[in-house]
């Protein structure tokens, strides 16, 4: 019985460490930021474009993929210009004080900043009052970003 409790405790600690290591404030799956989509393409092509392993770069403890060497170089020169707000977590979710994953096809650029949302339906909710949502999300993000 004690051995089984020790095993569960060890699994819990390992799972917690893995979860923490993958978070780091950037939405990522398997260490790849924003579902492997090219953050620069939202600005240059006005659409989501899948990145390629050949054009990858690690920034802020996440691997970012790009669709071209030009986009990779643009990101390297100024990551803050292209990185999605709230680490790529759902902007609507952050405005409701929680982190949620995102759909690369549910996006908006406001004042030259990229915002991603959980789904197109959630993006519709977000779009009803973008200024208030951004204000609320900006208030909640510092605390959410510190929490796992």
pLDDT at 16: 33
Q: Cα separation of 102 and 146, whole Å?
A: 19
Look at 11-20, 56-65, 75-84, 100-109 and tell me which has the smallest mean pLDDT. Answer: 11-20
DSSP state of 35: G
**Is the model's pLDDT at 17 over the cut of 50?**
no
User: Smallest Cα–Cα separation from 148: which of 60, 63, 25, 32?
Assistant: 25
Phi, psi of 83 (to 5 degrees): -65, 135
Q: Using one digit for the tens of pLDDT, what is the confidence trace for 26-84?
A: 999 999 999 999 999 999 999 999 999 999 999 999 999 999 999 999 999 999 999 99
Q: How far is CA 69 from the centre of its chain?
A: 22
- The pLDDT mean for the chain works out to 88
Contact 104, 115 (CB under 8 A): no
d(CA 85, CA 27): 10
10 Å CB burial of residue 30 (0-12, 13-18, 19+) is exposed
Q: Say what the pLDDT of residue 147 is.
A: 78
User: Hey, what are 52's tokens?
Assistant: 């390629």
């Amino acid at each position: 019985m004690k051995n089984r409790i020790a095993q569960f405790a060890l699994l819990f600690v390992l799972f917690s460490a893995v979860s923490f290591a993958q978070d780091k404030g950037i939405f990522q799956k398997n260490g790849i930021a924003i579902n492997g989509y090219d953050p620069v393409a939202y600005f240059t092509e006005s659409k989501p474009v899948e990145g390629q392993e050949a054009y990858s770069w690690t920034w802020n403890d996440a691997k970012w993929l790009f669709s071209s060497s030009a986009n990779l170089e643009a990101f390297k020169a100024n990551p803050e210009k292209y990185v999605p707000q709230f680490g790529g977590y759902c902007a609507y979710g952050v405005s409701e004080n929680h982190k949620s994953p995102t759909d690369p096809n549910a996006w908006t650029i406001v004042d030259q900043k990229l915002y991603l949302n959980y789904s197109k339906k959630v993006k519709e909710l977000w779009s009803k009052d973008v200024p208030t949502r951004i204000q609320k999300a900006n208030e909640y993000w510092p605390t959410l970003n510190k929490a796992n």
